[in-house]
Structure 1
């Protein structure tokens, strides 16, 4: 499919979501309550759901008083059981993916279970909402006439039980819908490479010939990539390489320390959108 046609179709399809987003804004309490009940219903027959009798929880007060607040260490053994192949502990569908998150309270890494429902109904749906809001706020956008340069991590196979762990970005890339993969660069194979230096060279080689219209990734790593690209191309601004670059979607770390550096290398009329996406979910 030609990218201009893809741009028109994708833009039309995403903008249809605006009406639903407006309903969320109008009735936030009702929507959140509906989501809570849906999650409790789906998880009521799991080990965790039976322990706390999810099926009889009828309101927020029931949930608040019955479900304990726990630290990761309190459920680490159950997560390890899931990583080794045991299912139906926290969620009703099989868990094959675990987002590896740096420990914040101790030196150990945390492994956050990521279900297929979490990918589809949270991360990917929120990603579509992000694009929907961007297109609604920028009606003249030509975002999908080109590609998005995404910068992600890597994945690893956990022993021999068929489960995987890795950066959340790697999990998202490896499960990305075809339409999103079609409009992204570099290829999945390059995106998921584990060696950073090799990945850096491969991303630059694959992405330079593309018409990149957006960037997505953590500012610290994205800046390393872009500065190396500019150096190799003997350019001072990305407008010389990708003249239609219009937006940078960033998250993961505070943007303030990097703002001025990006201002120097991004096209003058480009925009920056901050997102709050974590291993546990896509929040804003």
Structure 2
């Protein structure tokens, strides 16, 4: 549904940096209906710039953004839900009033905006804070209000910049559950995050960006399969020197020896392990998203 192709963006230089900064250098990916896409990269990698271009806050130097096969328009963006990294809430306004206000800005009638606001307050555990000013809320509850603002008009696409930043585990689970529900309803969700374990758990697909370039993208399972895996063998109370001559690394954890290797005959390794002691584990383990990320941006 959403396709981003060949985005390039250079920002004008500052004093001492006349050449400027190449923020994006050919970024491209697609997000399908009901898919949760994790956008990961270091600070300054280009994630927020990409999201701002999709939302029309910035214009690319080159490249395209299409929605349902056509160039994205202002009317399209009115049906998107956006949660910027720099939160845009009115601090003196009450939480419920604020969600309803943004619903009206998105074109909802007063009655529909109020109904949607009440539903989201209940769904996000904010009913008791409906009449509290935003500035009096905890960071986690402010995040929930910001998410409610992005959801109030029942968007067709969600774009969330660091939505889980600074949240406690309970708040993370509350937000994650709401996003998963939207995905099950067919809404594509794009979110950026530095919490790679969370991205790996929630996302169908991932894009790894570094210095404005897409270093890797695809489903989490495809990325892990493409990265290969390591054979991990755990032997309890093994005979001394059982792994001598085998490639890989052996670590000692109490009375257990752990061999991790990417080379050698696995059947020969298994025979030696069985002969040496009690084999507690023998199997190929694929890398985590964190390990894939480190390799991609190295």
Tell me the TM-score normalised to structure 1 length: 0.30
The structure number with the bigger radius of gyration is 2
Tell me the TM-score normalised to structure 2 length: 0.29
Structure with more of its chain in strand, by fraction: 2
Q: Relative contact order, CA 8 A, sep 6+: which one is greater?
A: 2
